[in-house]
Structure 1
């Protein structure tokens, strides 16, 4: 696809707060609740409840200043390191972490998580645990060999990446190149959890049109196996959102681990 007329997420950036409002808010006009909130939270809650993914360090490599995908993971790792490409995304996330006035309200997503988990009395406690678990926010440059240069991160037990690879890659070669960089951040035997959009070629944040790489399940599975991963779980959810903001056809959830 010719993406010359589309902005590239990690190169040009976007309005981080508008991204949250368009895709992750509790507003009645948000049609992405089922696909962007409920399905990822359900799958992540089930995955971590099994108890086989845990350790010292988890790295989050996801778009925007999202936090809802870390609710299920926060109790299984001593430290969560969040990697972001743009300063305004970092500032928006820190606003929530520091409970500042005007921070995005994630209460609706927290309630979805505790309801799925069956622990409705832990609403405030869950947000506090996520805040405590996020130890560092590190700026990343995806083009550098060491993406966090000059910082060298400890090898991670798990990486969660939500919607990111689909939005920073122009083609299949890019996808494999970035996936290889992600893999280098993992310990042998470490887990990689990917959530992405299938067949998406564009998405809007406000009036800004951004490029999306139209990946599919077969390609993602082959890319993971080619980079030395064993796939443990794969789920596909057909799109339910009715919106012109983006054109994906389904949501993909994959859990894999890196061969020793």
Structure 2
């Protein structure tokens, strides 16, 4: 199927609650190890090691997801969340404001607390994250503009989970968007990038959504060309075959910004 016949992230059929139920919930999710367990374990190890730290973290991730921020709330005083669509922002705000129809993320909070050795304190962890999140920002017209530098001062860390492949339609877009994503990162600050490897689509209900297929060499090259030095390069190969996705694995990169790179 050509990419032109796939749905895209901004299409109205994108349902963030269905995304959670399909890929991140505690139900019968076939790729739960790859979509949730391994990422939160890696994040926990990085934050606990002291290799990633600072005052302010900017998160640009997929579909109103919050699980990547749980361990981050141990290390950062302020977290700002960026998304590109109203539906994803509304989905995130419902959890933040404890609305009745909010997505239930308790499974992931319990899993993170289990990894941290405090499995009975997941509700306290949930409140800790809510208090650490200081703002949710819509990035309007991101394809033609950079994130507004005036929204906040330079941040210490940018965390991006899955979204870069999804909003980029070409490899040139991927490289350009990576620079846009990190334009608010201070020199010496860090990028934590989670990117699917050699994946062309993901399913949401009956709809097939486009994702840009890139290999590990291209991801590493893009990060380096954006002015970063790679400090950690992790990879998890696909463990389960499912009709939901066609990925070969996932790359996780920790990199430090060494220079400004023009967009």
User: TM over 0.5: same fold?
Assistant: yes
Q: TM-score, normalised by structure 2?
A: 0.93
Q: How does 1:217-228 map to 2 (within 5 A)?
A: 217-228=216-227
Q: Distance in 2 between matches of 1:166 and 1:71?
A: 23
The match for 1:241 is: 240
- Matched length: 258
Structure 1 residues 14-71: Cα deviation after superposition (integer angstroms, max 9, x where no partner): 111111111111112x112100110100100001111132222100000111111101
User: By how many angstroms is 1:95 displaced?
Assistant: 0.8
Query: 1:13 and 1:46 mapped to 2: Cα distance?
Result: 36
For 1:99, the equivalent position in structure 2 comes to 98
Residues of 1 paired with 2:92 and 2:151: CA distance?
22
What is the aligned partner in structure 1 of residue 51 from structure 2? 52
Which consecutive aligned stretches of 4+ in structure 1 deviate over 4 angstroms post-superposition? none
Match in the other structure for 1:145: 145
**2:257 counterpart of 1:258:** yes
> Separation in 1 of the partners of 2:148 and 2:3?
26
The answer on whether the counterparts of 1:159 and 1:191 sit within 8 Å (CA) in structure 2 is: yes
Instruction: Give the deviation of 1:2 after TM superposition.
Output: 3.8
Q: Quote the offset at 1:162 in angstroms.
A: 0.4
Stretches of structure 1 that go unaligned for 5 or more consecutive residues are none
User: Aligned partners of 1:169 and 1:87: how far apart in 2?
Assistant: 19
TM-score normalised by L of structure 1: 0.94
Report whether the alignment pairs 1:157 with 2:156.
yes
User: For residue 3 of structure 1, what is the aligned residue in structure 2?
Assistant: 3
- Secondary structure of the residue aligned to 1:184 is coil
Number of the residue aligned with 1:84: 83
1:31 paired with 2:30, answer yes
Cα 1:14–1:148 shift into 2, 3 Å: farther
Residue 153 of structure 1, CA deviation: 2.6
Structure 2 spans left out of the alignment, 5+ residues: none
Q: For residue 230 of structure 2, give the secondary structure of its aligned residue in structure 1.
A: strand
1:211: which partner in 2?
Answer: 210
